[in-house]
Structure 1
Amino acid sequence: MGNANTMPSEAGTVVIGAGIVGCNTAYHLADLGREDVLVVDRGPLPTTGGSSTHAPGIMFQTDEPKVLSKFATYSRRLYSSLERDESEPVYNETGGIEVARSDERMDYLQRRVEWATAWGVPDPQLLSPDEVAEKLPLVDPDVIEGGYYSPTDGQASGVRACAALAEEAEAMGAEFVGHTAVEDIETDGDGVRAIVTENGRVECDEVVVATNIWARQLSEKLDIHLPIAPVEHQYTITEPLAELDGRAQDVTGDPVYENYKSVSGDKSEVLLQDPDRPILRDQDNAMYFRTHGDRYGIGSYNHESIVPDPAELGGNEEDGNQASVHDFTEYHLNNATHPDRQEKAPRTASDELIPATEGANLDHKYNGMYSASPNGLPVLGPVQECEGLWTAAAIWITHAGGAGKALAEWMETGVPRLPDGPIDLRNCNVNRFAPHEGSWDFARDLGAEEYQNIYSIVHPKWVWTEHQRDIRRTPMYHSHRERDAELWAEAGWEEPHWFDSNADLLAEYGDRIPNREGWEGKYWSPIEGAEALNVRNGVGLHDMTSFNKMEIVGSNAGEFLQYLCTNDMDLDVGQIRYTLMCNEGGGVRADITVTRVGEDRYLLLTTGREVGSNHLAWVRSQAPDDVVVNDVTSNLAAMVCTGPDARKTLSKVIDADLSDEAFPFYSSQRTFVENIPVTALRLSYAGELGWELYTPSEYGERLWEHVMDAGAEFDIRPYGNGALDSLRIEKGFRLWGEDLHTEHDPYEAGLGFAVDLDTDFLGKEAVEAAANGDLDQKVACLTLDDPEQMVLADRPVLERDGDEVLGYVHAAEYGYSVGSCVVYTYLPPAYAEPGTEVDVHYEGDRYAATVQEEPLL
């Protein structure tokens, strides 16, 4: 590998950071044919001293977010193909076991089996306590309820993986330079121009910031605030144990040993020793374990969050000081400091599970750092504020191979991909964050909360409650509070999920709302069902201010929209059109409604909730210089009045004729509601007669009051997101990020009606090929056969009474008007035909379901 003396003066792509993420990115870019990739790091190579150096390298592939499991599975395969020395693979396929100490955790492990089945992780199994002890003889079976076993899980040394990846990348033309700190990134109005290092300037076209715990500091030099926080967790290694006698390994001949020792000292000789049995997690106590020859390594997240200030981290110095490692805090090992785990100290929990460690000295112990994002997922992709700037941060060794592959494909082709096809990165996209998330207060508090939950049993609808709430308020916030709204945080917005003031509706509708007692009953209220039925039968008002809203302005705005959208965008003023935006690979980047509100002015409305900011970044990245893209989400209060009595309600206060002839579907008018100026759109995401109303934010609360007053005689009720989710799924309306995203093309998603192939648009070549080809999968609407049953997303869909995995649940909500749980999934076309019988594997049971013609209503 190179050093400061071989620094080139120019490169096409510069990757800053030669840890596991930077090496994976460079390897995959080189593998795609790029020969002008430069990797720069301030530390020595290949052992830079970052998180990849101190990490024990355990790799569990199963997770609920599909993207993490897919990244991990690819990483496992990649590391298995890399050689460290004498034809030995970098990856140790030992298997992995997660144990349960409670019935609640056993239920959770069953979910892991189902997630693994859905995502294609090989052969997931539940084990009895004795079966766990057979594979892990030092575990006491009497303290556990059972375990989850994934045979292909294992371990990969970050140092060995970095060395192997760098060697392969260099053979393909990439350059690596160590001992060189990057001091700045030069930009101009057109984007990235160069990096400035302590050893010279390098002109370049693209920069990938892969500096992990240092990513925030470097990006802030460009006034870009990445919501990434360094957090500490503990790792210790016991003295040699008699029970493991004879398993010590001599690693002094390992090609990376001398370099590793110069950075990490004596513990490097132990860290390089391979595990000889399955890796282990005790998530009830937030701990993990692996052997190092004749010793046990014990990792602990079981302590209060420790979040260092990024400005005080420093760098990895020549004297062997590792900035990613802090002094061990003995107190956190021997005392119960985790706010959710007060029963026992980490050392006590460890000695209970593996009695052989009791009383053993801990020869090596340190607090190692990694970086955390607000939702615990990677921070990847092109930074919208600066052309040519990319990020790759908050990524573990487990996921770095897949993340590096997806990022390289994204940079090269415009579409993130893994070998089995496109991978949707909506929840990993660096542009998903709202402006407030860039503050250090927010990143620190949410990083701490993510750390606190890292091994917790977290419900998919869980919303953080301790920190950083009540940030963004719609104009109707106080009205919602007065009606006892159950408020959840969505991209910082306090949004109603249901209203406790509507509990009286249960007297009318309660017999149509099945009770939920299990996992699916958490974070749910029967009031959601009552609100949904009230909309179907009367009238409701929903606050949709947080929906993403963009204004496209300019003399060429119409031409730009035609390039951006799949449908014919030749609109008259006042006309609305539903359309899609696709990426270069034909994947659906968003589904939107476009309203022409003026000669050179258009209003774009998108769904997506917490990931909706991705749409704004996408539109801005495509816009020509003579078209202005304004984010007007906060500028405009928005609400929808919908239901059979919506016309009667609004006619009392609106200065417009609401008849079908005067105000047809998919049209808009500028008018007044009482004294409030509004742009009214004749459409409704609930699927009933309705109008969306938009007004400058300062008018929003009064507009809400006018509509509520007008609807009083029709018993108008506000309704929350829970009801809306049910209403929209019954009507077959897609929700981007759930049953629609970039892994689907318009025809797979059943949205071919929103494509006009006589027009030219971004991604047309791929979309046209999809239109003329055979579908590998097709959207399918299922209903559960038992009207009392309910399932949640991310569970496998199987052939009826068989084991073949056909797909997975993308979205599921109870349809209170149709009287059954509605599931949206994607299946092989032969199984997507109405009437086909399938099963959904949920919480250990098989739920019978039938494919239906959509929409259901």
Structure 2
Amino acid sequence: MAKAVPSKARVVIIGGGVSGCSVAYHLAKLGWTNVVLLERKQLTCGTTWHAAGLIGQLRGSQNMTRLAKYSADLYVKLEAETGIGTGMRQCGSISVALTNERKEELFRQASLARAFNVDVREISPQEIKEMYPHLNVADVVAGVHLPLDGQCDPANIAMALAKGARQNGAQVIEGVKVTSVTHKDGRVTGVTCVQEGETYTIEADHVVNCAGMWARDLAGTSGVTVPLHACEHFYIVTEPIPGLTRLPVLRVPDEATYYKEDAGKMLVGAFELKAKPWGMEGIREDFCFDQLPDDFDHFQPILEDAIKRMPMLETAGIHTFFNGPESFTPDDRYYLGEVPELKNYWVATGYNSIGIVSSGGAGMALAQWMNDGEPPFDLWEVDIRRAQPFQKNRRYLKERVTETLGLLYADHFPYRQMATARGVRRTPLHEHLKARGAVFGEVAGWERANWFAKPGQEREYRYSWQRQNWFENQREEHLAVRNGVGFFDMTSFGKIRVEGRDALSFLQRLCAGEMDVAAGRIVYTQMLNERGGIESDLTVTRLSETAFLLVVPGATLQRDLAWLRKHIADEFVVVTDVTAAESVLCIMGPKARDLMRRVSPNDFSNAAHPFGTARQIEVGMGLARAHRVTYVGELGWELYVSTDQTAHVFEALEEAGADLGLKLCGIHTLDSCRIEKAFRHFGHDITDEDHVLEAGLGFAVKTAKPAFIGREAVLRKQEAGLDRRLVQFRLTDPEPLLFHNEAVVRDGKIVSIVTSGNYGHHLGGAIGLGYVPCRGESEEEVLASTYEIEIAGRRVKAEASLKPMYDPRAERVRA
């Protein structure tokens, strides 16, 4: 007999895979009552049941590693708590490199693991052979061993989580399909669902979409963006192999394969570079523990490589050839958090085939977030607010996920660009820049010129962990900005108008800087949370008594819009995304004033147009709003031009700048210039977990003004002192490169990681930023230490500074 569907709940969780079961378990553990999980068919019947169950603790960042480690620890404990065997055993894992580039990647990951206190060891081909005697190591260069990695039984883990949720008072009801999430006045009110042909409504304060490959379509019925798409995922399981003993999980990413020994059989799976999307016509209603049709031709190249890698497979019979669907996202990272469109609509979905190792930690983090009203730590990597509305387009998703499945095992080279589903968002100058040699990258769908090729030079990336083929191009662009004048197309900046009777008081409350300034003034500021962490890093330009323009990174636009709208109280304020209305053309360098005088009759002197002000100017035969600010640390202007006049203004600038040596510059150069100046980058150097004072941004905080979000946390930190400081580093050896996540070594001990890095072409070495613990220490004591940066196991001496190494007094900016 079917369980009764309740009429009310505090929270309804949609989907009974490992993700939904984890959210239910953790909410119930936190003491939430009236937790209801609804599963359309049977628990685990979508994707969870056929997952491979690999538990790898090391992820690409500290917090993702924290979540994976939490999952591993939880799965060990669950069996004792619930009585359900999880199959969790820490047999360890080995990843092997077949190329020197892959060795560099694996050894960089090992340095990162040490920074995160993950047990790790670099191993030789001989050591690999001793640990994995069945393996052909003739062409293996090196490997990495993580002894506490493991494997598990995915379905049983979901069942154990569901049982644990029930033990703590949650209801888990199978055979109930949610057809829509109901909402009113911008917040969820519950769900409608069907059980045995009968329609029911459940009133609820919160709804969590854990619907896996159904999540996008379900979200779409409420106007919510959850971009994901299913792909076919293949593996084989052999017949029992005589003498096969317990082995570590093995990954051979250069062949896109993984190997798992289980009960004397071998499972061989793949993340092939070009995947097969699935479910374009929708998922059939009766889908439940279903397999997809075989496609042995697709899998055969993988299997042929596997037999060479492990010759015993040649004589092993195939017991199972499996093909099942899993959901993938456009950037290969899952979705967590509250959606920007509807209050109390939460998601935990899109796990890109790492759902088992992710879901334990993700369920914990989401439950804490729902309980406390803010995430327990920085989760921007997986925050649903990074998704762009256009990305729910089905054609875009179908094309993109052919690539993202394979990215799990592809070389994770720095600056690697997506190859599929490109060209969706283009600036008015796209074709102009393309004709002049631009090589484009993509952020938030925007095509941006990353670097400019010289005549006759190939216009594509040659990826490497060493200097890539555009290094000299970046150097020339960088030095042009430092010594002459450079041009950047920064149209991808997010632009938000905040206007209305209460716009000033609203922004005073949200921003840590002083917003009550004269019209035409530009304020660099942060929006903080109650912990003093940085929710947004932006400039605010006062346009009039009741109107302000907020300029934010393109990647954080949806996040920033959501933060603003979430905090509108009983106020007359209108928040509008005006990103597409204006282009942003940046003229930067010591000769910027000379160029502006050639294209405009306006006065560009310090007296007429001081730093930190904006005004309308004539340029060419058009108009622009000129903002005197910089992200590269030089004299310059950002020209905000209506999109219809953008091409004309560019042509006027280009013609006037020809004999001044005007250089077209890309995003890579913008980044190398900003890191020389120690300007922070949101999402890397500063996050919602990083206190604004410890990030070195206290100068932008005005505690004397009326109360603002985070003010008390700032005052407390001022009184208690800093626990850590953001330090700028320069490698004394000019050859090595920094990207991010390298280990920071202080007096011989790893203390943190590099949060962002690039090459300082003016300073003559790689530059990085990173936090250094400093409880009870003065600035002098912090700088008195000896610093090194560990790169792929090798330690390189570094100079440290708390002030920008380039133009510390900002004299060039104000020239």
Q: Is the alpha carbon distance of 1:81 and 1:771 closer, same or farther for their aligned partners in structure 2, counting shifts above 3 Å?
A: farther
2:436 to 483, 486, 495: 483
1:107 to 95, 104, 107: 104
Q: Is the alpha carbon distance of 1:520 and 1:119 closer, same or farther for their aligned partners in structure 2, counting shifts above 3 Å?
A: farther
Letter in 2 for 1:42: R
Q: Is the alpha carbon distance of 1:820 and 1:19 closer, same or farther for their aligned partners in structure 2, counting shifts above 3 Å?
A: same
Give 1:777's aligned residue: 724
2:699 is the counterpart of 1:703: no
Superposed displacement of residue 204, structure 1 = 0.6
Find the aligned partners of 1:728 and 1:237 in 2 and give their Cα distance.
51
Aligned 8 A contact 2:86 2:157 in 1:
no
Superposed displacement of residue 672, structure 1 = 1.9
Aligned 8 A contact 1:582 1:589 in 2:
yes
Find the aligned partners of 1:661 and 1:346 in 2 and give their Cα distance.
68
1:329 to 295, 302, 312: 295
Find the aligned partners of 1:765 and 1:162 in 2 and give their Cα distance.
42
2:330 is the counterpart of 1:374: yes
Letter in 2 for 1:33: G
Find the aligned partners of 2:698 and 2:405 in 1 and give their Cα distance.
43
Find the aligned partners of 2:455 and 2:497 in 1 and give their Cα distance.
35
Give 2:371's aligned residue: 412
Letter in 2 for 1:8: P
Find the aligned partners of 1:413 and 1:557 in 2 and give their Cα distance.
28
Aligned 8 A contact 1:213 1:310 in 2:
no
Give 2:813's aligned residue: none
Give 1:263's aligned residue: none
2:660 is the counterpart of 1:679: no
**What secondary structure, in the 3-state scheme, does the structure 2 residue paired with 1:242 have?**
coil
**What secondary structure, in the 3-state scheme, does the structure 2 residue paired with 1:181 have?**
strand
Structure 1 residues 589-635: Cα deviation after superposition (integer angstroms, max 9, x where no partner) = 1111101011211001113x434432222223223463111111111
Structure 1 residues 54-97: Cα deviation after superposition (integer angstroms, max 9, x where no partner) = 11211112233444323211211221221167696652111111
**What secondary structure, in the 3-state scheme, does the structure 2 residue paired with 1:92 have?**
coil
Structure 1 residues 102-159: Cα deviation after superposition (integer angstroms, max 9, x where no partner) = 33333332122123223332x2112223322333333344453342110110012222
Aligned 8 A contact 2:86 2:160 in 1:
no
Structure 1 residues 378-412: Cα deviation after superposition (integer angstroms, max 9, x where no partner) = 11221111222111111211111121122122222
Give 2:266's aligned residue: 296
Superposed displacement of residue 305, structure 1 = 1.3
1:812 to 735, 743, 757: 757
Q: Is the alpha carbon distance of 1:301 and 1:790 closer, same or farther for their aligned partners in structure 2, counting shifts above 3 Å?
A: closer
Matches within 5 A, 1:432-581: 432-465=386-419, 467-501=420-454, 519-522=465-468, 524-581=470-527
Letter in 2 for 1:368: G
Give 1:257's aligned residue: none
Find the aligned partners of 1:642 and 1:573 in 2 and give their Cα distance.
24
2:144 is the counterpart of 1:195: no
Taking structure 1 as the reference length, the TM-score comes to 0.88
Letter in 1 for 2:9: A
Letter in 2 for 1:163: M
Aligned 8 A contact 1:225 1:439 in 2:
no
Find the aligned partners of 1:11 and 1:769 in 2 and give their Cα distance.
39
Find the aligned partners of 2:384 and 2:396 in 1 and give their Cα distance.
16
2:798 is the counterpart of 1:849: yes
Find the aligned partners of 1:104 and 1:576 in 2 and give their Cα distance.
45
Question: Over aligned residue pairs, what C-alpha RMSD do you find?
Answer: 2.3
**What secondary structure, in the 3-state scheme, does the structure 1 residue paired with 2:466 have?**
helix
Superposed displacement of residue 661, structure 1 = 1.7
Find the aligned partners of 2:551 and 2:203 in 1 and give their Cα distance.
40
Superposed displacement of residue 794, structure 1 = 1.2
Q: Is the alpha carbon distance of 1:206 and 1:642 closer, same or farther for their aligned partners in structure 2, counting shifts above 3 Å?
A: same
Aligned 8 A contact 1:637 1:699 in 2:
no
Identity %: 32
Superposed displacement of residue 19, structure 1 = 1.1
Superposed displacement of residue 502, structure 1 = 8.9
Aligned 8 A contact 1:316 1:322 in 2:
no
**What secondary structure, in the 3-state scheme, does the structure 2 residue paired with 1:12 have?**
strand
2:249 to 279, 284, 306: 279
Find the aligned partners of 1:518 and 1:30 in 2 and give their Cα distance.
47
Find the aligned partners of 2:52 and 2:486 in 1 and give their Cα distance.
54
Letter in 2 for 1:443: L
Aligned 8 A contact 1:780 1:827 in 2:
yes
Q: Is the alpha carbon distance of 1:709 and 1:332 closer, same or farther for their aligned partners in structure 2, counting shifts above 3 Å?
A: closer
Superposed displacement of residue 304, structure 1 = 4.3
1:352 to 290, 308, 329: 308
Give 1:264's aligned residue: none
Give 1:237's aligned residue: 237
Letter in 1 for 2:788: D
Give 2:65's aligned residue: 69
Structure 1 residues 150-200: Cα deviation after superposition (integer angstroms, max 9, x where no partner) = 011001222221122222222222221111111111122232112111132
Give 1:590's aligned residue: 536
Superposed displacement of residue 783, structure 1 = 0.9
Structure 1 residues 264-311: Cα deviation after superposition (integer angstroms, max 9, x where no partner) = xxxxxxxxxxxx431111222211121221211222234741111254
Superposed displacement of residue 496, structure 1 = 1.3
Q: Is the alpha carbon distance of 1:538 and 1:102 closer, same or farther for their aligned partners in structure 2, counting shifts above 3 Å?
A: closer
Superposed displacement of residue 776, structure 1 = 2.5
Letter in 2 for 1:203: E
Q: Is the alpha carbon distance of 1:539 and 1:108 closer, same or farther for their aligned partners in structure 2, counting shifts above 3 Å?
A: closer
Find the aligned partners of 1:503 and 1:718 in 2 and give their Cα distance.
17
Matches within 5 A, 1:724-739: 724-739=670-685
Give 2:567's aligned residue: 622
Give 1:60's aligned residue: 56
**What secondary structure, in the 3-state scheme, does the structure 2 residue paired with 1:83 have?**
helix
Give 1:117's aligned residue: 114
Q: Is the alpha carbon distance of 1:776 and 1:125 closer, same or farther for their aligned partners in structure 2, counting shifts above 3 Å?
A: same
Q: Is the alpha carbon distance of 1:211 and 1:518 closer, same or farther for their aligned partners in structure 2, counting shifts above 3 Å?
A: closer
**What secondary structure, in the 3-state scheme, does the structure 2 residue paired with 1:193 have?**
strand
Q: Is the alpha carbon distance of 1:431 and 1:780 closer, same or farther for their aligned partners in structure 2, counting shifts above 3 Å?
A: same
Find the aligned partners of 2:319 and 2:369 in 1 and give their Cα distance.
44
Aligned 8 A contact 2:414 2:464 in 1:
no
Superposed displacement of residue 638, structure 1 = 0.8
Find the aligned partners of 1:66 and 1:442 in 2 and give their Cα distance.
31
Superposed displacement of residue 444, structure 1 = 1.2
* More off after superposition, 302-311 vs 173-182: 302-311
Aligned 8 A contact 1:573 1:596 in 2:
yes
Letter in 2 for 1:215: A
Taking structure 2 as the reference length, the TM-score comes to 0.92
Find the aligned partners of 1:304 and 1:676 in 2 and give their Cα distance.
47
> Can you give the 5+ residue segments of structure 2 that lack an aligned partner in the other structure?
808-815
Aligned 8 A contact 1:206 1:388 in 2:
yes
Find the aligned partners of 2:464 and 2:347 in 1 and give their Cα distance.
40
Aligned 8 A contact 1:414 1:584 in 2:
no
Q: Is the alpha carbon distance of 1:304 and 1:813 closer, same or farther for their aligned partners in structure 2, counting shifts above 3 Å?
A: closer
Find the aligned partners of 1:216 and 1:177 in 2 and give their Cα distance.
22
Letter in 1 for 2:444: A
Q: Is the alpha carbon distance of 1:310 and 1:818 closer, same or farther for their aligned partners in structure 2, counting shifts above 3 Å?
A: same
Aligned 8 A contact 2:86 2:153 in 1:
no
**What secondary structure, in the 3-state scheme, does the structure 1 residue paired with 2:542 have?**
strand
Find the aligned partners of 2:674 and 2:272 in 1 and give their Cα distance.
41
Q: Is the alpha carbon distance of 1:728 and 1:102 closer, same or farther for their aligned partners in structure 2, counting shifts above 3 Å?
A: closer
2:226 is the counterpart of 1:213: no
Q: Is the alpha carbon distance of 1:769 and 1:172 closer, same or farther for their aligned partners in structure 2, counting shifts above 3 Å?
A: farther
Find the aligned partners of 1:371 and 1:708 in 2 and give their Cα distance.
46
Find the aligned partners of 1:470 and 1:618 in 2 and give their Cα distance.
28
Aligned 8 A contact 1:577 1:594 in 2:
yes
Matches within 5 A, 1:742-821: 742-758=688-704, 759-800=706-747, 802=748, 804-821=749-766
